Structure 1
């Protein structure tokens, strides 16, 4: 039984507790038994220390108090040179309650966001269905809207703290890759902020849409090389992302007008990331590069 809201313990080589809070002995209280009663999903780090595989372990778990109530604890234990073990345990019930409350709020916000998406979708269908509008206007708009919804779902799954850039890319290109091998991806792991995740998701959607109409994805042999890395200099750090199309129809002339999709890719992406976007229409295919300051795009939750 746990009778302290927070405590420090010292255990001998047999994992029997010698002291709690620096002086209060607890007879017949076995730390090994205490760990054995923890949830299997939480006890791994402690088992590793007790078994000698790791010198330090940390985990969050629930334990019974002397009154039978269950409390959330953050526990840390360390093996000492003399073979004993020392640990620190602190109650985190308040933190867990706030996390639960935040989770409920996020899910409610996600539900409302999806309702708003449905309303906007219905308004678009009514507004765009009249003579003079392009025949695919509704489909194009809805595809952009669904891409935004998918990026929001990804962020919700990762608790709105940011998203892995690889996950953002995978979500964005999934509808355009019916078979593997069309996208050749080289990556440096990075977590981007929610705002940057949405901007990149929309830009990648526009790139894929353009490619499937006119570029590499319109050809069975076409491929897209998509890569990103972190460039470090003495006075700055940048995210560098590159999109290179190969194997599609040759580009014989430059576009005569700047469409909405191009403005999203070039202007809005640059504004959101605080970086520079370069688009080149080479004879071999479209290429794009983005260079943005890392502090502007990277989440603090790396």
Structure 2
């Protein structure tokens, strides 16, 4: 029988253990304290708790008192059919051995015999739901007849242990999950995770949100989330529409440009979800979004490249058509004005070469145009390479012609130079050529005026009656293609030609600095 003093001592043990378990969150510390208290209450000096591990294949000495250091936290016992521990767990009832020397039902582990254990009592531990955790075992070094009161006390103690172990397991699992979540949140820096209250004021601001938007938690908490919207979206009420949609439907897409602290913009792909209490009351909103700015910008660059490629293709097709049209026109007009096959071949080759040089130059830098000084000098050099010293000077302001103007002007200069070689200044030893141009103001628009002056050659002073391709090009095609004017004056001293073109952006790119080439 258990006297009243022992009863009080055991009740105090249960109370002390309950208080300790409530204060501690460390399962190993709680189990060790449980062993100390039960060994003290029963006066055995030794106790241990064994946990089922490896899918029911072994029992691990998880906690204990009165045992060597290499036993507790290290030793594993196989769950054999002839062990009292296995029997107690499988049958769900206590097992008492008063003297292991006389025990014939079960095999006693060698480490217990070596430790001098004589008597023992096993009580299974079950967690809520009926799953076996392991067992509580008290050991005595002398023969002992554990009473029914002893057994019931152990059963009560084990019954108290089960929920405590279950709670601490859940707490540990929750802590691990919380730690895992914290690590995920803190290291996911391209995702902004934001919590707001029911009024959409920011209450939680993760490191990812700081990385995406720039504000620190101290700077942003308490602000309305509208601070993240662009001014135009706030003006259109998109911030309010998003929250009302989430409040009404449970969630709302959040896919748009947002504002960074530094004023730049970030594109977010995300969602807003309403958070509600179990009674349906709105608690706030969870906003999760990924920064996809680089992808959006790359897609925009790709679209821009595709648009640019289409424009280039269209421009190329346009240029090819125009080029072929000009070549056909040159060939047709050259046939009409040539006196022989040899004359046709010579003129056609020269004109196409002049046209090709300009094409090659403007194709290299299609938006930069072609410098007029270079165009005139190169054309003269190609026609009259040996007569360079007879060209006094080529001068005028720094003017660049757009592709269309450069093609037509180059052909005109080619015709003037070819004519000078055959009939004009470059056919006589004393002949000279001057080429100069100016930008002249006029009531309607500025005009580029180019003057070609030949001297030192004897001419009749009368305009030739026969009109060649060059004359037609200068007088008609310049006017038709470029809206220009040309005047050919055949003086007794040589040909004077004045060409005037509109100095508009479609034809002429003008710089202020003059350019001279003598």
Is the 1:162–1:301 Cα contact (8 Å) retained in structure 2? no
Q: CA deviation at 1:276?
A: 1.8
Is the 1:239–1:291 Cα contact (8 Å) retained in structure 2? yes
- Report matched runs for 1:193-232 at 5 Å: 193-232=402-441
Task: Name the SS of the counterpart of 2:495 in structure 1.
Answer: strand
| Residues 1:167 and 2:350 are matched in the alignment | no
Residue-by-residue CA offset, 1:212-235 (whole Å, 9 max, x unaligned): 001111124422110111112455
Q: CA deviation at 1:185?
A: 0.6
- Indicate how the Cα distance of structure 1 residues 233 and 261 shifts in structure 2: closer, same or farther if over 3 A, else same: closer
Partner Cα separation in structure 2 for residue 174 and residue 113 of structure 1: 26
| Residues 1:143 and 2:350 are matched in the alignment | yes
Is the 1:161–1:301 Cα contact (8 Å) retained in structure 2? no
Partner Cα separation in structure 2 for residue 220 and residue 232 of structure 1: 38
Q: CA deviation at 1:297?
A: 5.7
- Report matched runs for 1:40-79 at 5 Å: none
Is the 1:154–1:168 Cα contact (8 Å) retained in structure 2? no
- Gap runs ≥5 in structure 1: 5-19, 26-68, 74-90
| Residues 1:287 and 2:471 are matched in the alignment | no
Is the 2:373–2:395 Cα contact (8 Å) retained in structure 1? no
Equivalent position to 1:154, from 354, 361, 366: 361
Partner Cα separation in structure 1 for residue 348 and residue 469 of structure 2: 11
Is the 1:151–1:171 Cα contact (8 Å) retained in structure 2? no
Task: Name the SS of the counterpart of 2:389 in structure 1.
Answer: coil
Q: Which residue of 2 aligns with 1:246?
A: 455
Equivalent position to 2:474, from 250, 257, 265: 265
Is the 1:237–1:294 Cα contact (8 Å) retained in structure 2? yes
Partner Cα separation in structure 2 for residue 111 and residue 268 of structure 1: 19
Is the 2:449–2:501 Cα contact (8 Å) retained in structure 1? yes
- Indicate how the Cα distance of structure 1 residues 221 and 230 shifts in structure 2: closer, same or farther if over 3 A, else same: same
Is the 2:395–2:437 Cα contact (8 Å) retained in structure 1? yes
Q: CA deviation at 1:171?
A: 3.2
Question: RCO higher in 1 or 2 (8 Å CA, sep ≥ 6)?
Answer: 1
- Indicate how the Cα distance of structure 1 residues 112 and 223 shifts in structure 2: closer, same or farther if over 3 A, else same: same
Is the 2:461–2:491 Cα contact (8 Å) retained in structure 1? no
Bigger drift between 102-111 and 191-200 goes to 102-111
Partner Cα separation in structure 2 for residue 108 and residue 290 of structure 1: 30
Residue-by-residue CA offset, 1:173-210 (whole Å, 9 max, x unaligned): 22124254333111111222221111101111110110
Q: TM-score, normalised by structure 1?
A: 0.57
- Indicate how the Cα distance of structure 1 residues 189 and 95 shifts in structure 2: closer, same or farther if over 3 A, else same: farther
| Residues 1:275 and 2:484 are matched in the alignment | yes
- Indicate how the Cα distance of structure 1 residues 250 and 195 shifts in structure 2: closer, same or farther if over 3 A, else same: same
Is the 2:459–2:490 Cα contact (8 Å) retained in structure 1? yes
RMSD: 4.3
Q: Which residue of 2 aligns with 1:43?
A: none
Is the 2:397–2:439 Cα contact (8 Å) retained in structure 1? yes
Greater helix proportion: 2
Q: CA deviation at 1:105?
A: 8.1
Residue-by-residue CA offset, 1:65-118 (whole Å, 9 max, x unaligned): xxxx9xx99xxxxxxxxxxxxxxxxx967656766776788789989999x69x
Partner Cα separation in structure 2 for residue 297 and residue 108 of structure 1: 19
Partner Cα separation in structure 1 for residue 419 and residue 437 of structure 2: 21
Partner Cα separation in structure 2 for residue 240 and residue 195 of structure 1: 17
- Report matched runs for 1:97-136 at 5 Å: 133=340, 135-136=342-343
